Amino acid sequence: MNKLRIAIAAAECADLAAKGGVAEWVLGLAREELARGHDVRVLLPRYEFLESLLPADARAHDFTVRLGLGAARPGTAVELYLPGVTPDAPALTVYLIDGHDGFAACRSAAEIYAAHSPERWVGFGRAVVDFLDGHEWVPDILHCQDAHTAIIPVLLKQIRAADARSPLKRTRSVQTIHNLLEQLKLAPSIVEYAGMAASAFQEMHFEYWGEANCLKAGIRAADEVSTVSRRYAEEICSSRDFGFGLEGDLALLRDRGRLRGIINGIDESRWSVNGFDYQQEHAVDEMLRIKREARASLLADWGWEDHDALPVVSVRGRWDEGKGIRHIVEHAEEIAQSARLLVCAWSVNAASAAGQMWARLGQIAAAHPDRIVVNPPALAAVDDTATHYLVSELLLMPSLYEPCGLAQQECMRYGVLPVVSRTGGFADTVRDGESGFVFDRDDGDAMVRAVQRAVVTLADTNRWKGMVEIAIRQKNGWAQRFAEYEALYKSALCR
């Protein structure tokens, strides 16, 4: 297709402001688009913690943020550049958008999604549109992520209908759903705060049980809507368990041909063993050798004998009830009868039910130090993920719902077989008995049986090596996904 100008608006981006999987997705897709010759730029809020990254001579663009209800204010977009993964790869242009004072209070990436000032996301979306509306660079596609940028397709649709002079009249919008749980529900007056007439509350489909639902309005206004796996695109139309109240709107989009699922890619240059040739003849044997070396000293530090035949079953990620943590805690001792359990988690809210489960897991680990370890210092940081994969045989992911998931694809690059629930992107990316093990969602007993199957398989050396070979040779990079995004953009441009 013709080379496009593509703007990606998001709350986070890896290498700058990363809180979750969206950050990896944004940077991975943007770099693949750049590699294909498209002109791609990312727009992020101007968080306070990014100020130190701005050079003194950073190029700044001034504009007016046309908020309503007397809230109009000066805005600024500052340019910075992320280098490519190789010296000859093009740099990625990033605009840091100052559209609301709430972002100046964000002092670390951990605070990106803090609950304070939720209207700041509407201010950010308004600022993105107003900046591009007066800028020399006008995108063909404006690609928005989750509820935090969902006001943008609504504003673009209004521009298309009412402002023939706007350069954005030809811009088409794509709204990607990474997680439906957060929908940005605000008071109806937020519509006027965004600079629209009060009548837009009904006309633009904001209305949701008396509140303004920004994600609902965004998906109804967008030219195309995508999710991050094919299975998840089906699930979110099926019931409230997955659609969280928007299943009717999503089913309508599906029936109109405006909803599709595209499996997340991963950055294979980022998620790889340093210097490892994944296509070499004896790749499996070499991978297993590297893993043995990596784990020897770490396991000794925890009192685990490396020559012990018990495999390491790992859990890694946010400690959230949607991740199936109840099943992990309830069955930890049962898993530990045939394996060693290594759990690294973050974002634990001590006052929540999840926090209570975390405390209970700590008690269980203290009673079984030879079999269960929780957040060891050498692996506890987010940056230690690759090392955690290297010391593991299995990665356990019992999510109740999972839009796509990245870890099950990343871990395969380190010779780890995922053990996953049959939901969302897990169902699309893990083949039971081939590249991993799959069990019925929200079923703790089925989870234990899947782990036990994996342990039995590990004892069959030839079969285990065969599965590891399938896993490490998987092609899950953005190059394998990008044709679907080009088709998505092409469809949006035809609207």
Q: What was the pLDDT predicted at 461?
A: 95
pLDDT tens per residue, range 176-213: 999 999 999 999 999 999 999 999 999 999 999 999 99
pLDDT at res. 284: 96
Query: Would 142 be classed as within a structural domain?
Result: yes
Indicate the pLDDT class of residue 18, thresholds 50, 70 and 90. very high
pLDDT value at residue 115: 85
Does 428 lie in the same domain as 331?
A: yes
Q: Which amino acid belongs to residue 246?
A: L
pLDDT score at 246 = 98
Per-residue confidence (pLDDT) for residue 380, from 0 to 100? 86
Query: Does 317 reside within a domain?
Result: yes
Cα gap 3→34, rounded to integer Å: 10
Q: Within this chain, do residues 353 and 451 fall inside the same structural domain, yes or no?
A: yes
Residue 27 lies in a domain: yes
For residue 446, is pLDDT > 70? Answer: yes
Say yes or no: 250 and 316 in one domain.
Answer: no
User: Residue 351 corresponds to which tokens in the numbers above?
Assistant: 């006052």
Same domain, 350 and 314: yes
Mean pLDDT of the chain, nearest integer: 95
**pLDDT at res. 308:** 66
Tell me, what's the pLDDT at 44?
99
Assess whether pLDDT exceeds 90 at residue 298.
Answer: no
Q: Region 62-66: what's the mean pLDDT? A: 98
With DSSP H G I counted as helix, E B as strand and the rest as coil, what are the percentages for the chain, rounded to 5?
Answer: 45, 20, 40
300 and 393 housed in the same domain: yes
* pLDDT at 263 exceeding the cut of 90: yes
Secondary structure E strands in 154-266: 172-177, 185-186, 207-208, 211-213, 224-227, 259-261
Query: Is 364 within a domain?
Result: yes
Domain extent, residue 124, equals 5-266+479-493
Residues 391, 341: Cα–Cα separation, whole Å: 12
Mean pLDDT calculated for residue range 440-450: 98
Is residue 26 classed exposed, middle or buried when 0-12, 13-18 and 19+ CB atoms within 10 A define those classes? Answer: buried
Instruction: Give 371-393 pLDDT, tens digit per residue.
Output: 999 999 889 888 899 999 999 99
Q: Which helix (H) or strand (E) holds 5?
A: strand 5-9
Within-domain flag for 276: no
Query: Could you tell me if 253 and 287 lie in one domain?
Result: no
Same domain, 145 and 181: yes
Question: Dihedral (C-alpha) 3, 8, 14, 19: value to the nearest 10 degrees?
Answer: -160
Instruction: Identify whether residues 249 and 300 lie together within a single domain.
Output: no
| Biggest alpha carbon–alpha carbon distance for the chain | 72
pLDDT at 301: 82
How far is the C-alpha of 29 from the C-alpha of 9, rounded, in Å?
12
- Same structural domain, 177 and 302: no
Task: Quote the percentage of the chain above a pLDDT of 90.
Answer: 89
pLDDT for residue 428 is more than 70: yes
Domain identity same for 253 and 288: no
pLDDT band (50, 70, 90) for residue 300: confident
Asked whether residue 194 is assigned to any structural domain, the reply reads: yes
- Judge whether 277 lies within some domain: no
Assess if residue 242 is contained within a domain.
Answer: yes
pLDDT at residue 245 greater than cutoff 70: yes
Closest CA to 399 of 431, 440, 368, 364: 440
Model confidence at 266, pLDDT cuts 50, 70, 90, reads very high
What is the band of 164 on the pLDDT scale with cuts at 50, 70, 90?
Answer: confident
pTM greater than 0.85 (yes/no): yes
pLDDT exceeds 80 at position 306: no
Does residue 250 share a domain with residue 319? no
Confidence of residue 307 (pLDDT cuts 50, 70, 90): low
Number of domains in the chain: 2
What mean pLDDT do residues 325-332 have? Answer: 98
Judge if 63 and 30 occupy the same domain: yes
Task: Report the CATH number at residue 323.
Answer: 3.40.50.2000
